[in-house]
Chains A and B, each alone.
Chain A
Amino acid sequence: MIVGTCKLRSAADVDEDSGLVIQARSDRAAFVQLYRRHYDVIFRYCAHRLFNRAVAEDVTSEVFLKMVENFHCFKGTEAQFRNWLYRIATNAVNHHLRRMTRRKSLLRAARERANSQAADCGQSPEKLALLKDALLALKPRYQTIITLRFFENLKLTEIAEVLGSSPGTVRSQWARALAKLRKQLAVEFTEKTEVIENEQ
């Protein structure tokens, strides 16, 4: 899919009440319904953070197993449930990235994966590689904010809930993350700006 069109999909297509969440504690069918309503969004988030669908599936499995383990502790609406899943997923992704960093150069691996995936799909390989390098060079917290904002279309207040921070803090981190991204993608942005200016 085209990442940009993600913005068209509402990230908040979940109920604001806690009915299904409560029901899912004792009703298998409700549990399955709850799971199915959130599987896609969590998988996509993992895929956008990890740039590898196989790894994203593994981490998604970890996320939902963790969810089952702690489901009895969760009390809240379905929207809060989704944000809770995002939080578990964020921790799982960060944990995975940390492990990867220890094993080998993450950026090198990401670049290799990017090139091979892009070649497979025949889709803007340079840009995809640039994006991956730029994102993975950021702190995991910044990666999380950027991904949740641009790819999952969450509001800053929702991101704050996922991260357990205040919206103000997230806003300032969001600005810092963007500034760092701008540096990472400086060449690309400069060229784009020049093109726009020339067009004008």
Chain B
Amino acid sequence: MNSDERQFEDFISNIKFDDNPDAGHRDKLEKNLLAALVRQPRHKQPQLKIWRIIMKSRITKLSAAAAVLIIIATVSWLSSKPGSTGQISSFTLLARASAAEQRLFYSSSGITHIANEIILYSDSEHNAGQLLDDLEADATQDKNLAFVKSWLSYRWIPVYILEADGRTHEHKLELSENTDEAVTISDLAWYDPATGRFARVLKAGDQILFANAYDGEFVYVAGKGPDGSFRIDREAVTNEFQVPDNPADFLGIAAGIKGTVPGKHYPPIQDVTTETLEDGTAVRTYKLGFTDPWGKVETYFLFKIDSDAEIIDEIESVVKGTTTRIHRRLVAETVDSPELSWNLSELSADPMKKASVKVDSGKAAQTVTIQQMAERATSNVYVFSKDPSWTIERTIFDLPDETSAPARFFAATYLAKDGRDIVLSQGESFNRYFGALFGKITEAGEQIPWMYESENGFKVMHQNDKETEMWWTEFALKSSGFDPRVNRIGYILMSPAKTFMVLAINGPVSEQELQNIVDSLIPADQYGRELIQP
């Protein structure tokens, strides 16, 4: 016991307190509680019931599968890319919060110290990769459901690293597959507004997970190396290096909100409530999420924004009704000197022997060219050899394909001049997942109802469940920054190499238009060659 504790104990030792419970109040409350207990409704798990109804039809299974996969892709997309925005209201809200954080914390005369807490919760019985393996081995409904639930519960967070070229790159911090417990990570940062120097460290208990710093000459990145040992990489800043204008872009709770990917992808604000945090701060809580095919919003973010200061105090991520992550600020103060040197010299060697989390050096999410997509893909990926005639701008997103790591997931989005925007999504987990489900159907002797087969070997299926189609196409389009239209349409495509793609189009296409774009599909690594050839 230290002297403060001892003094306080002494101080309170003979204070008498009127804290004896009153039996009368206890008994009266007991009656009220029993009455309230009777009034409580029985709680159900409607989502499972709905899932089972959907699973009655084999073809509807495919539709639902596509829908779920789009959710997954988008969930990871949104999680990894807080810089993206969907509706201007969400973006404006969060950009304003980021600006407020910059103004409040990173423009003072002294050194700013920020301490955040990130809690990653565990609710996954098995790892999704293993469950996908199981599903591939035998695609039963139970395995399908187990896989989808596990996949939706994937736990990781984006971290933003300032590199020697002055750019901020996004990486991911991920729980190891064998960790069943919730993990609390301390995110501590110090920033000197006068010089732009900073030091940041992420720790789980005393275990250092990751660190990033800039001392005026060098940029330092510390973490787990390829061989599993802890290491600190030092790199002299390049000529292009400039001290970032807004440290809130890569430090603190608002990191990435005004990120490098131009954003139109944030989900809409569903609800705004007011509440008081544990420390007494009054906040407005904004619920940002997409509506699922059953009209519910079960996967969403809760942004708790300080009512007075307009800064984000807490972000809670909820997947299928379960909290998967809480990110909250604990301390924001001005200090005389940082507790960690600008060159990270205090960090000891190999503290990661028993790491329960790892920082993945793979980029979490970014835009890429077709050439980069071809280079990064680990399976056959396809693009239109010529952008569809009614489109005017193409953007390809490269995302982590969590259950098939290190594979990547790609979403090619095309802005249309007539409103018929296009989203074409593909990745290794799509291939494995659809491959398992289609395999099961053909194994049972049933035919896949392909509606079109192109000369270059692509097959197209249009699902017959309109409601589900409306939902997942809306989801795909919205999460790509487009405003879904009522006459949007969706298809599942199989390539000659038996890989799968999901195509969402924001409006009707004629049979000829559909055939034209399917006919134009080519392997991404051949893109450009055709144009050069006579």
Contacts and interface: CB of A to CB of B under 8 A. Distances in A.
A74 B19 CA distance: 28
Interface stretch (A15-23, A77-85, A124-132): A124-132
A169 B117 contact: yes
A2 B15 contact: yes
A64 B32 CA distance: 10
Interface string A86-127: 000011001101100000000000000000010001011001
Contact of A192 (B11, B16, B25): B11
B186 A169 contact: yes
B280 A97 contact: yes
A60 B11 contact: no
B341 to A, nearest CB: 20
A59 B228 CA distance: 51
Given A91-B278, A117-B18, A168-B186, A178 B4 contact: yes
Given A1-B16, A94-B278, A127-B15, A72 B7 contact: no
Between A68, A169, A178, A188, the greatest number of chain B beta carbons within 10 A of the residue's beta carbon is seen for A68
Interface string A133-165: 000000111001000001000000000000111
A69 B389 CA distance: 57
Contacts, number: 153
B5 interface: yes
A14 interface: no
B178 interface: no
B18 A35 contact: no
A57 B22 contact: yes
Contacts of A95: 276
Contact of A31 (B16, B34, B119): B34
Contacts of A178: 2, 4-5, 8
A179 interface: yes
B175 to A, nearest CB: 15
Contacts of A39: 21, 26, 29
Contact of B33 (A2, A68, A182): A68
B29 A60 contact: yes
30 contacts: A1-B16, A3-B15, A3-B16, A4-B13, A4-B15, A31-B37, A39-B21, A40-B26, A43-B19, A44-B21, A47-B18, A53-B19, A53-B22, A57-B22, A60-B25, A65-B33, A68-B33, A91-B276, A91-B278, A94-B278, A97-B280, A117-B18, A131-B12, A141-B278, A141-B279, A168-B186, A169-B117, A169-B330, A178-B2, A181-B8
Interface of A: 1-4, 7, 28, 31-32, 35-36, 39-40, 43-44, 47-48, 53, 56-57, 60-61, 64-65, 67-69, 71-72, 90-91, 94-95, 97-98, 117, 121, 123-124, 127-128, 131, 139-141, 144, 150, 163-166, 168-169, 173, 175, 178-179, 181-182, 185, 188-189, 192-193
